Amino acid sequence: MNGIISAIVDLGMVGDLPEPAFSLYHAFDQGEWIRSNDTPGTDPSEKYTKPMVLEIMRDLEG
């Protein structure tokens, strides 16, 4: 997932980054690391990514 950051940054430099592209990128990025205050066994993709993606999908449904 981190490999697409340069494409996102390049696009953002020359124009508006379409949504929900950046929001989805951010959601998946949040699931890639464990925070110092997460309890052992925490799945960051379940705790951070999934709720963000569900919210994005709800917003798209209108």
Q: Which pLDDT belongs to residue 13?
A: 66
pTM value?
0.74
CB atoms within 10 A of CB 59: 11
pLDDT of residue 19: 86
- Give residue 6's pLDDT band: very low, low, confident or very high (50, 70, 90): confident
pLDDT at 5: 66
Q: Which pLDDT score, from 0 to 100, does residue 25 have?
A: 86
How many domains does one find in the chain? 1
Place of tokens 């999908």: 57
